[in-house]
Amino acid sequence: MRDYMHLAIAEKDGARSYAAATTHLVEEARLRHNTSPTATVALGRALTAAVLMSGLLKVGQRVALKWEGTGPLGKIIVEADAKGRARGYVGNPDVDLPLIQGEPDVAGAIGGAGLLTVVRDLLLPELAQGVVHLVSSDISGDLAYFLETSDQVPSAVEIGVKLNEDGSVAEAGGILIQPFPPYDPAIIGRLKERLQEMPPIVTLLGGGQKPEAILDEVFTGIQHTLLSKYPVRFECNCSREQTMALLASLGRDEIEEILNNEGQAIINCQFCHEEYTFDRDDLETILAAMAE
Ligand code: ZN
């Protein structure tokens, strides 16, 4: 298993925690979107946030997160499902800012003002949506704020993405800690302090620590049980069939125009950059299907 997320619960103290290694997932996103170092860290943190949020879902449910700030990066959109499949993109993947004290300037790239929107498809008639103002524009601070104010669950979040000299991803991962209902904030206060005392998650992962060992460290001195673990990966659910249906939805006139002018249609998936080419035969097949 390359990247995975592990869950642990401290039943007596009333808390659960997810720890995820997302290094390969974030590297896949970097390669697909050809992101600059700043954009890689921002998108990688957002994808890791989506993975952590996917731990709270049930089978078949999905979560989407959108960071929309005033910075040069444009919006960041990420999604994940209960099976740990995540995908996402950033508006301007080539925007790169100088480091600030050796750290990527994610907050500057996202921008100081803006919104974080979280949409959950919980398989109910209506989508569940929550919106908060960006408080730190660094992804993890915004996610923690969302969970505390919109979901009203005090939460500890730490997310990290560390790059190699050549801009590839060295380590990426995250931790999410939440209390069980009735949400006693005291345990989260203690665990937040614990997280602050610990080395950053990317340092732990870089030192060869696995998510389960990181959870053991988070819950040092607290009785806890390591539960399920599942793989997480960058995976888009786009397909040639779906893209063809999208093309067909443009209508007969539009497709005839493409056929007469370009002779082919090339459609690029925003989320994964997969390119689908529909040649003359394909376009004629679509038109023939419409005539039926
Ligand atoms: Zn795709």
Domain 4-234 CATH (choose: 3.40.50.620, 1.10.287.110, 3.55.30.10, 2.40.50.140)? 3.55.30.10
Percent of the chain at pLDDT > 90 equals: 91
Has residue 184 got a pLDDT over 80?
A: no
Tell the burial category of 53 from Cβ atoms under 10 Å away from its Cβ (0-12, 13-18, 19+). Answer: buried
Q: Name the nearest CA neighbour of 235 among 83, 86, 93, 19.
A: 86
d(CA 278, CA 248): 11
Q: What is the pLDDT of residues 101-132, one digit of tens each?
A: 999 999 999 998 899 999 999 999 999 999 99
For the beta carbon of residue 50, count every other beta carbon within 10 angstroms.
29
Q: How confident is the model at residue 285 (pLDDT cuts 50, 70, 90)?
A: very high
Q: How far is the CA of 221 from the centre of ligand 1 (A)?
A: 44
Q: Residues 19, 24, 25, CA angle at the centre, nearest 5°?
A: 75
Q: How far is the CA of 85 from the centre of ligand 1 (A)?
A: 12
Question: What pLDDT score was predicted for residue 104?
Answer: 95
3-state SS, residue 116: strand
Does the reported pTM lie above 0.85?
Answer: yes
Q: How far is the CA of 171 from the centre of ligand 1 (A)?
A: 24
Q: How far is the CA of 276 from the centre of ligand 1 (A)?
A: 10
d(CA 32, CA 47): 14
Question: What pLDDT score was predicted for residue 137?
Answer: 96
Q: How far is the CA of 271 from the centre of ligand 1 (A)?
A: 5
For the beta carbon of residue 159, count every other beta carbon within 10 angstroms.
28
Question: What pLDDT score was predicted for residue 267?
Answer: 93
Q: How far is the CA of 63 from the centre of ligand 1 (A)?
A: 16
Question: What pLDDT score was predicted for residue 1?
Answer: 62
240-291 maps to CATH 3.90.1280.10? yes
Question: What pLDDT score was predicted for residue 186?
Answer: 82
Question: What pLDDT score was predicted for residue 188?
Answer: 86
Q: Long-range contacts: 289-292, Cβ < 8 Å, 24+?
A: 289/248, 290/248, 290/252, 290/255
Q: What is the pLDDT of residues 5-52, one digit of tens each?
A: 999 999 988 999 999 999 999 999 999 999 999 999 999 999 999 999
List the domain boundaries for the chain: 4-234, 240-291
d(CA 108, CA 272): 25
